[in-house]
């Protein structure tokens, strides 16, 4: 049964252009703390897929470094910047079965809507939040609305 981890990037500085906004010091420390907690999960043969914006790249790099012992591949999805839930769902449906876990790092409202779509739960996702979802499917291509259950929410 595949496992899904959905993260919102850490707190970002207010600047322009939006794509280039870096994490604040608080954002950096929050992501380090949350990623430490998630590194305790049994994550095997995983892919970490992220929006290519500056703040999501840094969030993903921190997560990836904490998960080094878990054999995690890192991918930046061009369509991931400010992506809606449908973009992420399509990505999951096409994910190779070699990956037992997927970690998504993105932006609201897309990732918050993805969590709701998969679980039926309204989970507030302020910056730095991570959600663990157990999916009731055998293969990624079987993912559907309501296919998951929130098992853990980690906020900074």
Domain boundaries, the chain: 3-154
**Residue 123: what pLDDT?**
97
Per-residue pLDDT tens digits for 44-80:
899 999 999 999 999 999 999 999 888 899 999 999 9
**Residue 40: what pLDDT?**
85
Per-residue pLDDT tens digits for 70-112:
889 999 999 999 999 999 999 999 999 999 999 999 999 999 9
Burial of 68 by CB count in 10 Å (0-12 exposed, 13-18 middle, 19+ buried)?
Answer: exposed
Topology classification of domain 3-154: Rossmann fold (3.40.50)
Q: In terms of pTM, does the model score above 0.85?
A: yes
Q: Contact at 8 Å (CB) between 23 and 55? A: yes
Phi, psi of 46 (to 5 degrees): -110, 155
Per-residue pLDDT tens digits for 128-156:
999 999 999 999 999 999 999 999 999 99
Beta strands in the chain (DSSP E): 3-8, 46-50, 72-76, 101-106, 130-135, 148-154
């Amino acid at each position: 049964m595949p496992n899904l981890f959905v993260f919102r990037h850490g707190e970002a500085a207010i600047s322009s252009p939006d794509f280039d906004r870096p994490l604040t010091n608080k954002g950096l420390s929050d992501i380090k703390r949350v990623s430490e907690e998630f590194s305790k999960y049994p994550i095997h043969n995983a892919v970490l897929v992220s929006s290519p914006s500056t703040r999501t790249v840094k969030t993903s790099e921190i997560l990836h470094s904490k998960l080094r012992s878990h054999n995690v591949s890192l991918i930046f999805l061009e369509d991931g910047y400010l992506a809606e839930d449908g973009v992420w769902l399509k990505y999951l449906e096409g994910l190779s079965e070699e990956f037992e876990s997927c970690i998504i790092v993105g932006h609201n409202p897309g990732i918050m809507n993805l969590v709701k779509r998969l679980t039926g739960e309204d989970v507030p996702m302020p910056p730095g939040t991570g959600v663990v979802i157990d999916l009731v499917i055998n293969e990624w291509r079987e993912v559907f609305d309501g296919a998951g259950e929130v098992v853990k929410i980690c906020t900074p």
